[in-house]
Structure 1
Amino acid sequence: MTVLHAATDKRIDAAATRLIAAAETRTPCSPVRDLVGDTDVDAAYQVQRRVVDAKVDAGARVVGAKIGLTAAAVQQQFGVFQPDFGVLLDDMVFAHAQPLPRSRFLQPRAEGEIAFVLGRGIDFPGATVADVLRATEFVLPAIEIVDSRIANWDLTITDTVADNASSGAVVLGTTPFPLLGKDLSQVGMTLEREGEPVSFGAGHACLGSPVVAVAWLARELVRREQPLRAGDVVMSGAIGPMVPIDEPGRFRLKLDGLGEVEAVIEEEGE
């Protein structure tokens, strides 16, 4: 190993250690761009993989992937103008109306999405939207609880990539919908907090269509030797602005033609 590679590995290890400690101590940390730079996305994905590997070594199971920074509204919120991806683990997935303890998050925000559940893997380069449509068994309404281990959401692209694309948890609806004949770009979204609308959007906000976003993800994961597998859950990205979760409460997502799902955030002991 060259001196340069050794120094890079040390910075990647240090960034992963910082993020793992922030999660374990529930104390947001400083950005990791001081270690990996603010443009080296490949190094940031190496940090992400080390963080995820540590969780898998501790017993977690990979169940899919999530796409981040797809909606222009979300990109504007953070000043980051390219999509990224993270890994979904089994302990991040919750069902409609299943309580989520507020204490598991540091700085949570909610966003409405469409989740794809794959009936077959996409393990070849150059995946198209047709390949995604063939591989998708069904879709579900979904709320993603995004979170950041980085203090005050002070992010560049490398910070959020290293932090598993600012992932927290996902809440999946329980009624599957086939894609046949559906134009996901035209699906409207309303996200409510305690019955009051707080975010609006539509499928075309997600890179033109959530199907386009999943095709991008499939190509990117093959390139990074982490291809999508049969059975994977894929969170296709926000279709409207995210909203802060400042206190416990109920968030309900309504998708035109694709049902509803509710996320229940509770204080422990409730």
Structure 2
Amino acid sequence: MTDWTTDRAADALLDAEARRADRGPLTDEWPDLDLRTAYEVQDRLVSRRVGAGEEVVGVKLGLTSRAEQQRMGVDAPLTAWLTDAMVLPAGEPVPLDELIHPRVEPEIVFVLGRRLRGPGVTAATALAAVESVHCGAEVIDSRYTDFRFALPDVVADNASAARVVLGSTGVPPAGLDLALEACLLQVDGEVVDSATGAAVQGNPAEALALAANALAERDLALEPGWLVFTGGMTDAVPVTSGKQITAEFTRLGSVTVTGS
């Protein structure tokens, strides 16, 4: 059996991404990989990115829906990192030649106006730190074959983070009912799914608070100007060449992702 370490695991995942070659889950070869160690792998993976010149610009949440949590056997979302290299300007196509098997999901996104640090953050105090709320789309791209993984695998893999697209129109959080904010997901003009913000931990503000409190357990905080992608509102849909995927929101505008 291979002697796995956090450094070796981070290198293996980055190598799979660079070669666009999916692989089996780490837990197939490292069955003792636990959640705490998986977050250490994630941090080492992102440290490699920063060492290569990337800058951390925010976080994303995964497993924010109750159904996903039950399926994975957890009772809280997971957190992962976003860097500037993952941010795709609005209107720019998804670079399929850099990805393995990308999928797109619509999300509600916060841009922070001030630092947010747990513990004890509530949805109300979390929203007080928000400068603007946006629609967004996340392109996830697991490094594991067929998106097959256990919870420690996906945490180590930085929650399948690949690209994010931020809607151009920011709305102040005051007056928004984020639990009722609706989204229609369209593929080539046909509605394929819909959801409201309640699909995200009951309210995306709850997800933001959970992120701040979870990071505090690792002596970390959410910083001013950071993006926080709060989790998929619907199932993710594959993006392929020429396919146009649009998420249209009630008050937050719309965002379109096209494969190229």
Q: TM-score range by the shorter chain?
A: over 0.9
Secondary structure of 1:139's partner? strand
In the other structure, the counterpart of 2:233 is 239
Is residue 246–residue 254 contact of structure 2 (8 Å, CA) maintained in 1?
yes
TM-score (norm 1): 0.90
- Following TM superposition, by how much is the alpha carbon of 1:246 offset from its aligned partner in structure 2, in angstroms? 4.0
1:28 lines up with 2:22 in the alignment = yes
Q: 2:72 aligns with which of 77, 80, 83?
A: 80
Change in Cα spacing, 1:143 to 1:74, as seen in structure 2 (3 Å) is farther
Greater Cα offset, 132-141 or 243-252: 243-252
Answer with 257-266 or 35-44: which moved more.
35-44
Give the structure 1 partner of residue 197 of structure 2. 203
Structure 1 position 104 matched with structure 2 position 98: yes
State the distance in 2 between where 1:39 and 1:226 align: 23
Q: CA deviation at 1:35?
A: 5.0
Contact preservation (8 Å) 1:113, 1:144:
yes
Match of 2:211 among 197, 217, 220: 217
Letter of the structure 1 residue corresponding to residue 59 of structure 2: A
2:137 corresponding residue in structure 1: 143
Q: TM-score, normalised by structure 2?
A: 0.93
Q: Give 1:12 shift.
A: 1.7
1:140–1:173 Cα contact (<8 Å) kept: yes
1:193 and 2:191 are equivalent in the alignment: no
Whether the 8 Å contact between 1:36 and 1:44 is mirrored in structure 2 is no
Whole-angstrom distance in 2 between the partners of 1:23 and 1:183? 38
Residues 108-137 of structure 1: per-residue CA shift (max 9 Å, x gap)? 111110110000011242111121111000
Shift of 1:71: 2.0
* CA-CA distance at 1:17 after TM superposition: 1.8
Q: Which amino acid aligns with 1:61?
A: E
- 1:67 alignment partner, one of 61, 68, 74: 61
How many Å separate the matches in 1 of 2:30 and 2:221? 25
- Contact 2:118–2:215, Cα closer than 8 Å, also in 1: no
1:33-71 alpha-carbon deviations (Å, 9 max, x no partner): 145547711100000011111111000000000001112
In structure 2, how many angstroms separate the alpha carbons of the residues matched to 1:185 and 1:262?
22
Residue of structure 1 aligned with 2:120, choices 122, 126, 130: 126
Aligned position for 1:58: 52
| Distance in 2, Cα, partners of 1:197 & 1:72 | 23
Same amino acid, percent of matched pairs: 38
The C-alpha deviation readout for 1:9-46, integer Å capped at 9, x for no partner, is: 95222211210110111100110114554771110000
CA–CA separation in structure 2 for the residues paired with 1:205 and 1:242: 14
In the TM superposition, residue 180 of structure 1 has moved relative to its aligned partner by 0.6
What amino acid is the match of 1:163? Answer: D
User: What stretches of structure 1 of length at least 5 have no aligned partner?
Assistant: 1-8
CA contact (8 A) 1:38 1:157 kept: no
Give the secondary structure class of the aligned counterpart of 2:120: coil
Structure 1's 219 and 50: CA in aligned 2 closer, same or farther, altered over 3 A? same
Partner of 1:3: none
* 2:226 aligned partner, one-letter code: D
CA distance in 2, matches of 1:156, 1:246: 26
